Amino acid sequence: MNPQFNKGILEMCVLALLAKRDFYGFELVETISNYTDISEGTIYPLLRRLTQEKYVETYLQESTSGPPRKYYRMTRHGKKFTQELIQDWKNFSANVNKLIHLEV
Amino acid sequence: MNPQFNKGILEMCVLALLAKRDFYGFELVETISNYTDISEGTIYPLLRRLTQEKYVETYLQESTSGPPRKYYRMTRHGKKFTQELIQDWKNFSANVNKLIHLEV
DNA sequence: CACTGTACCTTGCAATGCAAGGTAGTGGAT
DNA sequence: ATCCACTACCTTGCATTGCAAGGTACAGTG
């Protein structure tokens, strides 16, 4: 897979999942990696940025299988942004597909 | 539109067009900009890279409406690469759409 | 002869992702 | 008891890509 495809789209993937329920960082990596490549070195800085931009907020929760998990919960602001981002993605990918199949 | 979406995908757009017929740089900008944002500052360095990687080769042609045009012609190597890239894009975008609509 | 449109190009910056590393907690195997 | 594997968090430095802003040059029009 072209690693450059991920650029900018991973943010949307993370937000799209967090719009459905709370996740902790490691869980996001595991879930997303079933669909596209992602590494921990990508997700943690991304989550920090999303927190700074107030799209999500965090809380800690104990775990029986390791250190405490940092969960991410989406804000109302984040939900709105996510919906716009997904709409942009749909438009974008539709346009790219048109361009690829263009008769020139 | 999220400008990050373009990352890596503009390369595929350029190659997909050049797989159909020869284009000159400025013409590529005009054509692609009907479907997604692109600037000249993006296309010329990209075309240089594609030339260095032997996906395309160039030839000059006089024009009656300005300076000579530099046309880009795809190599066999480039055609093969383009087909793979388009297949990768289809897989990638399908997976992203699955992820977005995932029930979690 | 200035102006507009065409067409080429470069430089410096910003954004994003990744590999490679590090830190800690839990529980099982030796 | 000690080591290992797994979970889970994190940071640093690098590479890639795109863009804005600028520059150069040719042709036709006023």
Q: B85 in helix, strand or coil?
A: helix
Min Cα–Cα distance to chain B from A45, Å? 16
CATH architecture entry for A18-100? Orthogonal Bundle (1.10)
Per-residue tokens: B25: 């740089």
- CA–chain centroid gap for A32, Å, is 8
Q: What is the pLDDT of residue B3?
A: 67
Delimit the domains of chain B by residue range: 6-100
- How many Å apart are CA A36 and CA A4, to the nearest integer? 12
Residue ranges of chain B with pLDDT lower than 70? 2-3
- How many Å apart are CA A18 and CA A28, to the nearest integer? 9
Per-residue tokens: B9: 């995908």
Q: What is the pLDDT of residues A68-96, one digit of tens each?
A: 999 999 999 999 999 999 999 999 999 99
Whether B82 and chain A come into contact, CB under 8 Å, resolves to no
Nearest to B96 by CA among A96, A6, A41: A6
Whether A30 and chain B come into contact, CB under 8 Å, resolves to no
CATH architecture entry for B6-100? Orthogonal Bundle (1.10)
Q: How far lies A25's CA from each of A58, A65, A87, B18, in Å?
A: 10, 15, 25, 41
Q: What is the pLDDT of residue A50?
A: 97
- Residue at minimum CA to C1' distance from nucleotide C19: A41
Q: What is the pLDDT of residue B66?
A: 87
Q: What is the pLDDT of residue B87?
A: 94
Q: pLDDT band for position A5 (50/70/90)?
A: confident
Q: DSSP of B29-55, one letter per residue?
A: HHHHTTTS---HHHHHHHHHHHHHTTS
Distance A70 CA to C22 C1' (A): 19
**B 4-23: CB under 8 A from A:** 4-9, 11-13, 16-17, 20-21
Per-residue tokens: B12: 């595929």
Per-residue tokens: A52: 């700074």
* Binary contact (A99, B32; C-beta < 8 A): yes
Q: What is the pLDDT of residue A3?
A: 67
